Chains A and B, each alone.
Chain A
Amino acid sequence: MIQNAWLIPVFPLIAFIILLFFGRALKEKASYVGITALALSFILAVLVLFERIGGETYTYVVKWIGFGESTITMGYEVTALNAMMLIVVTVVSLLVHIFSREYMREDDRIHVFYSYLGLFSFSMLGLVLAPNVLQLFIFWELVGLCSYLLVGFWYFKPEAAAAAKKAFLTTRIGDVGLLIGLVLLFNAVGSFEYSAVYSAVEAGLVGDTMVTIIAICIFLGAVGKSAQFPLHVWLPDAMEGPTPVSALIHAATMVAAGVYLVGVMYPVFLASSTAMTVVAYTGAITAIFAATIALVNTDIKRILAYSTISQLGYMMLALGTGGYVAGLFHLMTHAFFKALLFLGAGSVIFALHHRQDIRKMGGLWKRMKVTSVTFLIGALAIAGIFPLAGFWSKEGILAAAWEGGDMFLFIIAVVTAFMTAFYMFRLFFKAFTGEFRGDHEPHENTKLMTIPLTVLAILAVAAGFVNTPFSLGLETFLTDGLHVGHQAHGELWLAVLSIAVALAGIGLAWAMYGKGAIREDFLSQKVPGVHKLLLNKYYLDELYQKVFVSPTVAIGKFFWEVDRLFIDGIVNFVGRATRGSGRAFAKRHDGQLQTYGLVTIIGGLVVIAVAFVLRGYIG
């Protein structure tokens, strides 16, 4: 079965092609095509995972291009990490496909939506299965394209169009870094194959400085894709896309591709302590930075978006401090509970007729039972409450940060854990408890929406048990045959600290938004400057606008003028000269046959005369 792993991305591709040609005719039946394809992929992914657990890494490559002594291959590979990612991607994608059936029901372009989803699933699965960095890069760009298409799905909304453009351009900055990194890597190693890269780096064939440069360039790509500081600005805006898209692409899968990239290139990072420090610090800064913004935001999807950024920073932090398994484990659990939270938010938004402001919600607990319960499970999971999935993975990250030895990073990790619990439960209490403050009475959604939520809630509870300190299933699985260094494991006090911090955050949120013991505008009253800074997202968008966007636009305008006046001027001059001379000579074309004859004869005579002179017959 593992030999047929290549079929996993092919099913969504077939769905995409079918919908491309027959989508208009199928209309909302298009969803069945997508769901069937993803279900097949999921089943196959499960079979592949089981076979991989008992077996070996399977690689199949064919030669694609050869030049000199180097060859570039194409193919697919099932490693432990791939097998895990396949499950994550197919599960979330399948559930999102089902959920969208209801969510996008009234959209005229639902078949387009499903074709994009299919293309995305194909690209993401292809990215995961890639056996070399070049192929990964190709799919990397494809998922970027799908993200662009889906964020801008409602392109008639100016914000959505702008957000799509922003997402595309911002990630492009990181992608340039990644491409440079890949070229340098190929130059240094002579191959794109993961195995060749690993062995070359581990044998020390690449110089220290070079390894650092390569690792940091590759990390740049991850920074763009995984919305790490300072390239995170696109992700909150990307929430303009449909909510299922946010759940699939901008929470569970595509943004995690950056973390996956670092994971896959982990030996390269391990070879350079500088690069590891860069990764750890970028992750830490992103984690706390995004968490602080999430504290004050009032848009349900944007809070979740900042939460995503923060959690991705957490994974980077783990990877940067040597917690290879912790980071990837958190990637998996996060995919489940963040997809759950996003789909829950989607359910709320759908019930409220596309209102996203949490100040206009409240009291949903009584009105939307399933959504509320599953959302609560997701919130508890992300807060890290025992024994939910988030607890196990977050504890692993804290352990890695502790054993990394950098107190600063550890404190940031703990503070972020506190903030995470706080803002998630601020969201929960505001939206689901108290009085309903909206103007349109919501009702629980149909089974098509609640079943995916339930499945994800079960996963958010259960996914953590694959890697507990008592049975390190995932760790053994992932690290088998890889040299990724020692993996930290939490001790009891760390678990207690983690739960205590989470409970403190939940308690504070309850005190402020549940019980009302502390005034809600506490922060804005006491320190209005800080509150304003957070509300405006540290003014980073404005800063980028002034420093990067405006000068670029100005330069563009300048060159446009040069083009218009100078280059177009030359072209227009040539055009006018041709037309003018044509007009002048047209006057000589007077219809007199005898004139034509005369001119012909004189012309012939001139030719003869020239020939005579040149041949020397005359003169």
Chain B
Amino acid sequence: MVSITLFLALGAILFCIGLYGVLTRRHLVIVLACVELMLNAVNINLVAFSSIGPFANVTGQVFTLFVISVAAAEVAVGLAILIALYRNRDSIDVIKHDLLRW
């Protein structure tokens, strides 16, 4: 069996790639996509612990289901906001959306 450490390392790597994308990409759709990558990385951790962790049981997989549902809801609402934003401000560039300014 593959060691759990490798799964955890993989999750960390995916998480950091997603985070880097969130911090630097300027297209809002891609920022949202990167958020999904981060959520996926977390799910890998959960399922890995659930299957081959020290106290392997079903809880981690149930929580993965919850995370997936929340992610789905988030994507739906996030894209809706994004479309409304694009319609009103005619731009999809993160830098141009700076209304939360001082």
Which of A590, A597, A598, A601 has a CB less than 8 Å from the CB of B101?
A590
Asked if B23 contacts A597 (CB within 8 A), the reply is yes
A590 to B100 Cα, complex, angstroms: 7
Asked if B99 contacts A591 (CB within 8 A), the reply is yes
A591 to B24 Cα, complex, angstroms: 15
Chain B residue contacts of A587, Cβ below 8 A: 102
Interfacial residues of chain B within 78-102, with CB under 8 A of chain A in the complex: 94-95, 97-102
Smallest CB gap from A588: residue in B: B102
A592 within 8 A of B: yes
Chain B residue contacts of A593, Cβ below 8 A: 94, 97, 100
Asked if A591 contacts B100 (CB within 8 A), the reply is yes
Given known contacts A592-B95, A593-B94, is B23 in contact with A598 (CB within 8 Å)? yes
Smallest CB gap from B98: residue in A: A591
A65 within 8 A of B: no
10 A-B pairs closest in CB distance: A591-B98, A591-B101, A586-B102, A589-B102, A591-B100, A594-B23, A598-B23, A597-B23, A592-B98, A590-B101
Chain B residue contacts of A601, Cβ below 8 A: 19, 23
A593 to B93 Cα, complex, angstroms: 12
Asked if B101 contacts A589 (CB within 8 A), the reply is yes
Chain A residue contacts of B22, Cβ below 8 A: 594, 597
Chain A residue contacts of B102, Cβ below 8 A: 586-587, 589-591
What count of chain A residues pass the 8 Å CB interface test?
A: 11
Interfacial residues of chain B within 1-41, with CB under 8 A of chain A in the complex: 19, 22-24
Distance of A418 from chain B, by nearest CB (Å): 87
Interface residues on B, range: 10 to 19
Chain B residue contacts of A597, Cβ below 8 A: 22-23
Which of A586, A589, A594 has a CB less than 8 Å from the CB of B24?
A594
Distance of A585 from chain B, by nearest CB (Å): 9
Interfacial residues of chain A within 593-619, with CB under 8 A of chain B in the complex: 593-594, 597-598, 601
Chain A residue contacts of B99, Cβ below 8 A: 591
Instruction: Say whether chain A's binding surface is mostly helix, strand, loop, or mixed.
Output: helix
**A–B pairs, 28, beta carbons within 8 Å:** A586-B102, A587-B102, A589-B101, A589-B102, A590-B98, A590-B101, A590-B102, A591-B97, A591-B98, A591-B99, A591-B100, A591-B101, A591-B102, A592-B94, A592-B95, A592-B98, A593-B94, A593-B97, A593-B100, A594-B22, A594-B23, A594-B24, A594-B94, A597-B22, A597-B23, A598-B23, A601-B19, A601-B23
A313 to B24 Cα, complex, angstroms: 95
Per-position binary interface string of chain A over residues 180-215, scored 1 when its CB falls under 8 Å from any chain B CB and 0 otherwise = 000000000000000000000000000000000000
Chain B residue contacts of A590, Cβ below 8 A: 98, 101-102
Which positions in B face A, CB cutoff 8 Å?
Answer: 19, 22-24, 94-95, 97-102
A594 to B22 Cα, complex, angstroms: 7
A586 to B100 Cα, complex, angstroms: 12
Given contacts A591-B98, A601-B19, 5 further A-B contacts (CB under 8 A): A586-B102, A591-B99, A592-B94, A592-B98, A601-B23
Smallest CB gap from A582: residue in B: B102
Interfacial residues of chain A within 82-135, with CB under 8 A of chain B in the complex: none
Distance of A586 from chain B, by nearest CB (Å): 4
A506 to B100 Cα, complex, angstroms: 94
A589 to B98 Cα, complex, angstroms: 10
Find the residue from B22, B97, B99, B102 having the highest chain A CB count within 10 A.
B102
Distance of B16 from chain A, by nearest CB (Å): 10
Smallest CB gap from B22: residue in A: A597
Distance of A408 from chain B, by nearest CB (Å): 85
A590 to B24 Cα, complex, angstroms: 16
A307 to B14 Cα, complex, angstroms: 103
Distance of A604 from chain B, by nearest CB (Å): 11
Chain A residue contacts of B101, Cβ below 8 A: 589-591
Distance of A432 from chain B, by nearest CB (Å): 83
Chain B residue contacts of A586, Cβ below 8 A: 102
Distance of A245 from chain B, by nearest CB (Å): 62
A592 to B93 Cα, complex, angstroms: 11
Smallest CB gap from A585: residue in B: B102
Distance of B58 from chain A, by nearest CB (Å): 32
Chain A residue contacts of B23, Cβ below 8 A: 594, 597-598, 601
Distance of A305 from chain B, by nearest CB (Å): 68
Chain A residue contacts of B94, Cβ below 8 A: 592-594
A587 to B22 Cα, complex, angstroms: 23
Smallest CB gap from B95: residue in A: A592
Chain B residue contacts of A598, Cβ below 8 A: 23
Chain A residue contacts of B98, Cβ below 8 A: 590-592
Smallest CB gap from B25: residue in A: A594
Interfacial residues of chain A within 327-351, with CB under 8 A of chain B in the complex: none
A52 to B72 Cα, complex, angstroms: 94
Distance of A587 from chain B, by nearest CB (Å): 7
A586 to B94 Cα, complex, angstroms: 20
Interfacial residues of chain A within 521-553, with CB under 8 A of chain B in the complex: none
Chain A residue contacts of B97, Cβ below 8 A: 591, 593
Chain B residue contacts of A594, Cβ below 8 A: 22-24, 94
A590 to B101 Cα, complex, angstroms: 5
A592 to B101 Cα, complex, angstroms: 8
A601 to B24 Cα, complex, angstroms: 13
Chain A residue contacts of B100, Cβ below 8 A: 591, 593
Distance of A582 from chain B, by nearest CB (Å): 10
Distance of B68 from chain A, by nearest CB (Å): 23
Distance of B22 from chain A, by nearest CB (Å): 7
A592 to B97 Cα, complex, angstroms: 7
Smallest CB gap from B99: residue in A: A591
Per-position binary interface string of chain A over residues 379-407, scored 1 when its CB falls under 8 Å from any chain B CB and 0 otherwise = 00000000000000000000000000000
Distance of A596 from chain B, by nearest CB (Å): 8
Distance of A541 from chain B, by nearest CB (Å): 62
A276 to B23 Cα, complex, angstroms: 93
A589 to B102 Cα, complex, angstroms: 6
A601 to B16 Cα, complex, angstroms: 11
Chain B residue contacts of A591, Cβ below 8 A: 97-102
A590 to B95 Cα, complex, angstroms: 10
A587 to B99 Cα, complex, angstroms: 14
Find the residue from A586, A594, A598 having the highest chain B CB count within 10 A.
A594
Find the residue from A586, A587, A590 having the highest chain B CB count within 10 A.
A590
Chain A residue contacts of B95, Cβ below 8 A: 592
Chain A residue contacts of B19, Cβ below 8 A: 601
Smallest CB gap from A598: residue in B: B23
Distance of B25 from chain A, by nearest CB (Å): 8
A295 to B69 Cα, complex, angstroms: 104
A597 to B19 Cα, complex, angstroms: 9
A597 to B18 Cα, complex, angstroms: 13
